[in-house]
Chains A and B, each alone.
Chain A
Amino acid sequence: MKCGIEIHQRIAGRKLFCRCPSPSDHPSSDGSKAGEARFTRRLHAVLSELGEMDAAVRMESIRQRQFSYAASLNECCLVEADEEPPHQISQEALAAAVAICRLLKSKVVDELHVMRKNVIDGSNTSGFQRTALVGIGGEVETPLGKLAIQTVCLEEESAGIIEGKEGSAEYSLSRLGVPLVEIATEPSLSSGKQAQEAAFAIGSLLRKTGLVQRGIGSIRQDLNVSIPGGARVEIKGVQELSMIATTVDMEAARQSQLIQISKEAQKRLSGKPIEEVFVDLTEIFKETSCSIIGKAIRSGGCAMGLLLPKHEGLLAKEILPGRRYGTELSDYAKSAGIKGIIHSDENLSKYGITDDEALEVRAALSAKPSDAFVIAAGERRKAQAALSEVCRRANYPGVPEETRKANPDGTSSYMRPLPGKARLYPETDLPPLEIGSSILRKAEEEVRRMEKEEKEKAQLLSALNPQLSSQVSSVRGLISHNESFSQEFSSPEFSVFAACVKKGIDAKFAASVISNTLQALKREGAPVSSLDEPKLIDFFESFQKRVFSKSASPEILRAMCQEGISASQAAKKLGLQLVTGDELLSLISKEKLGISEFMAKHRLRVDAEEVQKAFKKIT
């Protein structure tokens, strides 16, 4: 098996070809409804500069869908609405992409050519996605060894679908134009596990840069899989990193099953291709109780049939759990804009088709018992296009090159033919751009910043006590996130812990406060989440300055979170300022108590160790 992965990662900052904010960069504006503009569009198929039409584009153009768009006025301008040409490419995003190339040892091109990648499923108002090749070659370290990188591209994010229907689709334009870096590896991975490791390695490298967006949807993985005798298949939109291995292995299994089925079909047909002959079956189903066909006919459509000679039983062959060869053919039919097909390897009565109707269909198609048939119902043009797709697929020897959509269970469904180079042509609104010294310098600065941060982090981590670290790292969701929360750490709590260690604060005490005291306060109902990293650091620093005692910690923290005051204010307010030095000595001599009585009385205001020493000194 050969497998390569493509990682799409959103870059932080504004949009790629206009100065609109990226949606996740200003979450506060999501709530405020600044209003939105709505409009509808249709898209046409366009030839590439070499005069070719892409297969994926041809397929979508058959559907002739209408697209409606919602453009949030806060997050979109005329560029997203395709009412203004793109502005110059974001220098910020370009520098980030070049910096990522540097980290991957990828060769940065001399001159950037922004290309248009034809996409007419409505997800781009322009009818294309803008993309540019930034880096060629490179490598990334993975736990399973070095992995070669093919290309690094900078592209714009597509619009987010709100609702997709048969003849129309609705999109939100907020996401459109967010910068994405696309990293494609060489197809040198040979197992699902390797692919998963590689995706993880690239993903964490990208996160470390601090230049990328985080959160749901900010990173996506596409997988390219082929097996000997199979074909290159691209699986898009694997959401869970942990599903990559399963998805890859299932695709390899699917291809091997398809090869078997294809061999069997070839043998049965002895090389004769299936003829693209469609028979109109509308008359037979005039009064059918099959709801799918009946509904199509009543709304002015028809039922068409296609004979698949000697295919009896093949359509029922399972190629993946819950997916049969018939499901594959059905996916092809759906891509022409109909809801699906009915075929003879299914239980036809479950669709409400009677035995008589089935017999009539067999007669109309002159089907022998060893033959299979497929019925498509809907608008005539679409039903025919659907059967044409089924026929094309059934005639395909082996595994066709496809783009497939990842399903949550690790299987995948057909989306469209694999797009090729024919869908790329130059973005004529933007002249080629020299990647000059200012961009290279900016990228270099970013790389240096990252290296410095990495080094600091490594030093810091090496100084941490592993036992205490693991104790703190299990703490989650106590205090609130704050801008200063360093993205390097898994949680703000851990970030506070690391900062304490850096500042020389007793690590054991810090770990105990974070993992015990705060937990206990939360349990008793104190609003611990009103604390954040700066407030906690103030607490630890005050402790270090001997403002209060270790034992007073719960009281101080409780007052801090309940009243929103600083640690020293809390100590003052509660009368828990640490009594120390001469003051302590005079208190001891004044009260004339035994050490245990003294401690019982002044526990919260003194340091136990100091008290012991002081008693020794006096006696």
Chain B
Amino acid sequence: MARKEGKKEASAEAEPGDKVQVECASGKYCGILLPRKQESPFLALKLGSGYNIGIRKEAITAISILEKASAQFRKELKEEKKSSSPAGKVSLLACGGTIANRVDYRTGAVHPAVSAEELLESLPMQTRGTVQPRMLFSLPSEDMSPAHWAELAKAAAESIKGGAEGVVITHGTDTMHYTSAALSFMLQNLPCPVVLTGSQRSSDRGSSDAELNLSCAIAAAKSDLSGVFICMHENLSDESCALLFGPKARKMHTTRRDAFRPINSLPAARVDAASLSVEKISPNCQPRKKESKLALDTRMNTNVALQYIYPGLKPSAIASLAGYDGVVLAGMGLGHLPVNLSGDKLAMPILKEVAQLVNSGIPVVLASQCIYGRVDMDVYTNGRVLKEAGIIGNLCDMTPETAYVKLMWVLGREKRMGEVKKLMETSIAGEISERSPIAPY
């Protein structure tokens, strides 16, 4: 027991970064002590060869410090570089995410930590000089909430009113399409581009997509377009980025560089990585409107639910949504719900519960979990009963996420059911396409 105490003291003295000698039953190991979570049963050591190994703490008999850590190592671990950048024409708003990730040696995983200035360090000088960075949040995007969208919209509006030629937002990719949809509604009459970008490969690897995505996003922000866009890799090659309409994009892959796809839309444009030229693809692109007066409207009713429909969904789950001010259902196929018109004994219909929500004045909007394609409640009887029940969203081609964000925004300014229905079924920010283009999906 006494020996155990002594061991504890010794390891308490040695700090991460110190060069130590660890003795245990199997032999002696020399190396630099690495940061590690206290509760880990292993001690992590960087050997002279550069390799890291883990040594079971129980087996350690002694740790002696050979050399205290150099001040530099401490600084690298604790401090973040600060540098001032000259005023630029493009405003860069940093929100965190993989693009700003750094390795956390305590957990060994990556976490968002790089400052807005550091993000720009990888770019060529002439590009860097035109960008004004500002750190807004340092969050993985799964932690972002509607309140963050409002902050972000305000910051973007400030930049534009302050004379920015365009805005680039670096953001985690998981919820980037929610944010891009929200900004599309909050920033009305945009005179210039607002471009969200991020990265699917953290910048601590040589193959990171961060630099290319960021430089293409900056080029897009300077382009002759207006509106909210997502700018990410177009395919697996480091050759171009696709510029996607803010409310018509979605993350469709967990890991690929080209995870973001245009949904029920053509890409707005392509940004060539080598020339940084922006080539328009969609006829729906809006040109830059110098005279346009930006209207910031961040009012949101966040008491909205997004409910996935699936076989076996309990009717009580729908009934329990009664406390919300609005509900989006991600229905099946054309926008179907279990309604059991044939009176099957095993079916679990939810039509009654949905109708009750509508009748109590809660707008219920339908989108399709197919993601691609339009909702159509007219084709089957099963759809017609939904339409008759007063469900909103017929013939719309919004993703469930865009419909969810839009309903919050609509309910932020309108309560009357008829008006809500009209707004939800009318394209406000290009979120509903008139035509369904023949495009790959």
Chain A interfacial positions (CB closer than 8 Å to B): 37, 39-46, 48-51, 66, 78, 81-85, 107, 109-113, 115-116, 118-120, 125-128, 131-133, 136-137, 151, 153, 420-426, 428, 431-432, 434
- Is A126 touching B207 in the complex (CB atoms < 8 A)? yes
Which B residue's beta carbon lies closest to that of A432?
A: B54
Q: Mind listing 30 A-B residue pairs with CB under 8 Å?
A: A39-B236, A40-B237, A40-B239, A41-B237, A43-B206, A43-B207, A45-B206, A46-B204, A49-B103, A78-B256, A82-B201, A83-B256, A110-B42, A110-B53, A110-B56, A111-B44, A111-B53, A113-B52, A116-B205, A126-B207, A128-B205, A128-B206, A136-B27, A151-B49, A421-B48, A423-B50, A425-B103, A428-B108, A432-B44, A432-B52
CB distance from A116 to the nearest CB of B (A): 7
Pick from B27, B55, B122: contact of A44, CB under 8 Å: B122
Residues A424 and B207 in contact in the complex (CB < 8 Å), given A49-B103, A110-B59: no
In the bound complex, CA of A133 to CA of B46 (Å) = 11
Assess whether B236 is in contact with A83, with CB atoms less than 8 Å apart: yes
- List of A residues within 8 angstroms of B238 by Cβ: 40-42, 66
B105: chain A residues at CB < 8 Å are 49, 426
CA distance A44 to B201 in the complex (A): 12
Q: Which residues of A contact B51 (CB under 8 A)?
A: 113, 115, 131-133, 151, 153, 424
Known: A428-B108, A432-B42. A137 touches B27 (CB 8 A): yes
A115 and B50 in contact, given A45-B206, A83-B257 (Cβ under 8 angstroms): yes
Q: In the bound complex, what is the Cα–Cα distance between A128 and B26 (angstroms)?
A: 31
Q: Which chain A positions have C-beta within 8 A of B207?
A: 41, 43-44, 82, 125-127
Instruction: Please name the residue on chain A nearest to B258 by beta carbon.
Output: A83
Residues of B within 8 A of A126 (CB): 205-207
Q: Which residues of B from 202 to 256 have beta carbons under 8 Å from A?
A: 202-208, 211-212, 235-239, 254-256
Q: B385 contacts which chain A residues (CB < 8 A)?
A: none
* A contact residues around B26 at 8 Å (CB): 107
> Among B55, B201, B236, which residue has its beta carbon within 8 angstroms of that of A110?
B55
Interface centre among A107, A113, A422, A424 (most CB of B within 10 A): A113
Task: Using known A-B contacts A40-B237, A41-B207, determine if residue A421 contacts B50 with beta carbons closer than 8 Å.
Answer: yes
Question: Least Cβ distance of A435 to chain B in Å?
Answer: 9
| Chain B nearest CB, measured from A287 CB (Å) | 33
The 4 closest A-B pairs by CB, nearest first: A127-B206, A111-B54, A421-B50, A424-B50
Q: Does B324 contact A (CB under 8 A)?
A: no
B155 sits at the interface (CB 8 A): no
Question: A131 to B212, alpha carbons, bound, how many Å?
Answer: 27
Name the one of A85, A420, A426 contacting B103, with C-beta atoms under 8 angstroms.
A426
C-alpha gap A42/B233 in the complex (Å)? 13
Q: In the complex, which residues of chain A have a beta carbon less than 8 angstroms from the beta carbon of B47?
A: 133
A107 CA to B29 CA, complexed, in Å: 12
Map CB proximity to A onto B243-281 as digits: 1 under 8 Å, 0 otherwise.
000000000001111000000000000000000000000
Known pairs A44-B206, A115-B51; A83 contacts B108 (CB<8 A): no
Q: A110-B59, A112-B53, A425-B103 are in contact. List 15 more A-B contacts (CB 8 A).
A: A40-B239, A46-B203, A78-B256, A85-B255, A109-B53, A111-B53, A112-B54, A113-B54, A119-B206, A133-B51, A133-B52, A133-B53, A136-B53, A432-B44, A434-B54
Residue positions of B touching A, CB distance < 8 A:
26-27, 29, 32, 42, 44, 46-56, 59, 72-73, 76, 103, 105, 108-110, 122, 201-208, 211-212, 235-239, 254-257
Alpha-carbon gap, A84 to B205, bound state (A): 13
B205 and A113 form a contact (CB under 8 A): no
Q: What is the count of residue pairs linking A and B with beta-carbon distances less than 8 angstroms?
A: 135
* Chain A residues closer than 8 Å to B239, beta-carbon distance: 40
- Tell me the complex Cα distance, A51–B53, Å: 19
Please determine whether B110 and A113 come into contact, CB atoms closer than 8 angstroms.
no
Q: Does A422 lie within 8 Å of B50, measured CB to CB?
A: yes
Q: Complex formed: what's the CA distance from A50 to B46 in Å?
A: 11
Chain B residues near A115 (CB-CB < 8 A): 50-52
Max chain A C-beta neighbours (<10 A), residue from B56, B122, B206: B206
Residues of A within 8 A of B29 (CB): 136
CB distance from A109 to the nearest CB of B (A): 5
> Please, which residues of chain A bring their CB within 8 A of the CB of B204?
46, 425, 428
Nearest CB on A from B256, distance (A): 4
B76 adjacent to A51 (CB under 8 Å):
yes
Considering only CB atoms, which chain A residue lies closest to B24 in the complex? A110
> How near does chain B come to A181, taking the closest CB pair, in angstroms?
15
A434 to B59, CA, bound (A): 14
CB distance A127 to B205 under 8 Å?
yes
How many Å lie between the Cα of A83 and that of B201 in the bound state?
8
| Cα(A428)–Cα(B103), bound, Å | 7
Write the nearest CB–CB distance from A238 to chain B, whole angstroms. Answer: 22
Tell me, rounded to whole Å, the shortest Cβ–Cβ distance linking B415 to chain A.
46
Q: Which among A119, A132, A425, A434 has the highest number of chain B CB atoms within 10 Å? A: A425
Chain A residues, Cβ within 8 Å of B76: 50-51
Give A434 to B51 CA distance when docked, in angstroms: 16
A291 CB, nearest partner CB in chain B, Å: 29
Closest to A71 in B: B236
Are B109 and A428 closer than 8 Å at their CB atoms?
yes
Query: Given A44-B122, A110-B54: A39 and B42 within 8 A (CB)?
Result: no
Give bound CA distance, A425 to B205, whole Å: 10
Query: Which A residue's beta carbon lies closest to that of B107?
Result: A431
| B52–A426 touching, CB < 8 Å | yes
Min CB–CB distance A500 → chain B (angstroms) = 47
Name the residue of chain B whose CB is nearest to the CB of A420. Answer: B50
Give Cα A115–Cα B103 distance, bound, in whole angstroms: 13
B202 close to A428 (CB less than 8 A) = yes
Nearest chain A residue, comparing its CB with the CB of B273 = A42
**CA gap between A50 and B47 in the complex, in Å:** 13
Q: Is the CB of B27 within 8 A of A39?
A: no
List A contacts of B109 (CB < 8 A). Answer: 428, 431
Chain B residues with Cβ below 8 Å from A120 are 206
**Alpha-carbon gap, A423 to B205, bound state (A):** 11
Docked CA distance A421–B51 (Å): 8
In the bound complex, how far is the Cα of B208 from the Cα of A434, in angstroms? Answer: 29
Shortest B198–chain A CB gap in Å is 15
> A428–B111 Cα gap in the complex (Å)?
10
How far is B47's CA from A109's CA once the two chains are assembled, in angstroms?
Answer: 12
> Interface centre among A48, A107, A111, A115, by most B CB within 10 Å?
A111
Shortest CB–CB separation between residue A131 and chain B, in angstroms? 8
Bound-complex Cα distance A347 to B372 (A): 70
A85 neighbours in B (Cβ, 8 Å): 255
Q: Which residues of B contact A426 (CB under 8 A)?
A: 52, 103, 105, 108
Distance in Å: Cβ of B323 to nearest Cβ of chain A: 39
**Contacts A41-B237, A51-B76, A110-B42; A46 near B48 (Cβ below 8 A):** no
The reply to whether A84 and B256 form a contact with Cβ atoms under 8 Å apart is: yes
CA distance A425 to B204 in the complex (A): 9
A425: chain B residues within 8 A (beta carbon) = 103, 204
Chain A: minimal CB distance from B230 (Å): 18
B255 near A84: Cβ-Cβ < 8 Å: yes
Contact assessment for A434 and B52 in the assembled complex, using a CB-CB cutoff below 8 Å: no
By a CB distance below 8 angstroms, the chain B residues around A422 are 50
Q: Given that A51-B72, A421-B48, A432-B42 are known contacts, is A39 also in contact with B237, CB under 8 Å in the complex?
A: yes
